[in-house]
Amino acid sequence: MRRTKAEAMETRRRILEASFDIFSEKNFSDVSVSEIAEKVGMTKGAIYWHFRNKEDILVQIIEDFCARTGADFVSVHGVPQEIKDLRGYFKSALTMSATDPDFYKLQKLMLSRHEWTKSLQDRVLGIIRTASEKERSMIDGLLKKAQRDGSVRKDFDTNDVAILISAVFQGLCILQMADQLPKDFANQADFLIDAFTKELH
């Protein structure tokens, strides 16, 4: 049974990997389950045994991508414990978005989201909101902690500032993935971090 489960997981991985490649190269509406099956070397029935349709495949790709990149990032860079740690956190995130080829594949995939059904758009938006909320909550917690220990001023709403900081750097990551920023922008981002830091004190 354990071997069968392991084999099923490997099959799912192959399906998701192949689908990620196809979805990032073609319009979503032009991709068929038959094409995915052919690329993986399986029958359509085998694909349908693991996923109900190509929308479920896409949702799983994005869920796995968010979970993997988040876990990989934390394992390498750790979780910020103080406000000062956000400098390294965001610079590392910008560096990752500039160097990980899967970020570019995801960006290409997201560019075709106007073709998705409303249901699919809502499901993907929910995944992205959850990931964004985790980051916002982390920043909010660090700001509250800094206010309590007196390292930043207390006359601002930590949640509002956390939303602003998170939105700015998420936007930069998106621009980075779309090749709208220099490749070494992460090394030039100190002025933004310094501006936030100055305003918090």
Spell out the residues 6+ positions from residue 60 whose beta carbon is closer than 8 angstroms to its own. 16, 51
Enumerate long-range contacts of 177-183, CB under 8 Å, 24 or more apart.
177/97, 177/103, 177/104, 177/106, 177/107, 178/107, 181/98, 183/98
Residue 177 has pLDDT above 80, yes or no: no
pLDDT in tens, 113-160: 888 999 999 999 999 889 889 889 999 999 999 999 999 999 999 999
pTM of the model: 0.81
As a whole number, mean pLDDT of residues 165-181 equals 81
**What token pair was written down for 145?**
């902690």
Q: What percent of the chain has pLDDT over 90?
A: 45
Residue 99 has pLDDT above 90, yes or no: no
Residue 178 CA to residue 172 CA, distance in Å, equals: 10
Of the pLDDT bands very low, low, confident and very high (cuts 50, 70, 90), residue 1 is very low
Domains assigned to the chain:
53-200 (1.10.357.10)
Given the structure tokens 């310094």, which residue do they identify? 194
CA angle at residue 22 from 21 to 23, to 5 degrees?
95
As a whole number, mean pLDDT of residues 158-179 equals 85
pLDDT for 180 equals: 81
Taking only Cα atoms into account, the Rg of the chain, rounded to an integer number of angstroms, comes to: 20
Given the structure tokens 């610079």, which residue do they identify? 91
**What token pair was written down for 199?**
């305003």
Of the pLDDT bands very low, low, confident and very high (cuts 50, 70, 90), residue 38 is very high
Residue 102's nearest CA partner among 134, 65, 72, 73 is 65
Neighbours of 157 (CB within 10 A): 10
Neighbours of 196 (CB within 10 A): 17
pLDDT in tens, 67-92: 887 776 777 667 889 988 888 888 88
As a whole number, mean pLDDT of residues 46-51 equals 94
Residue 121 CA to residue 58 CA, distance in Å, equals: 11
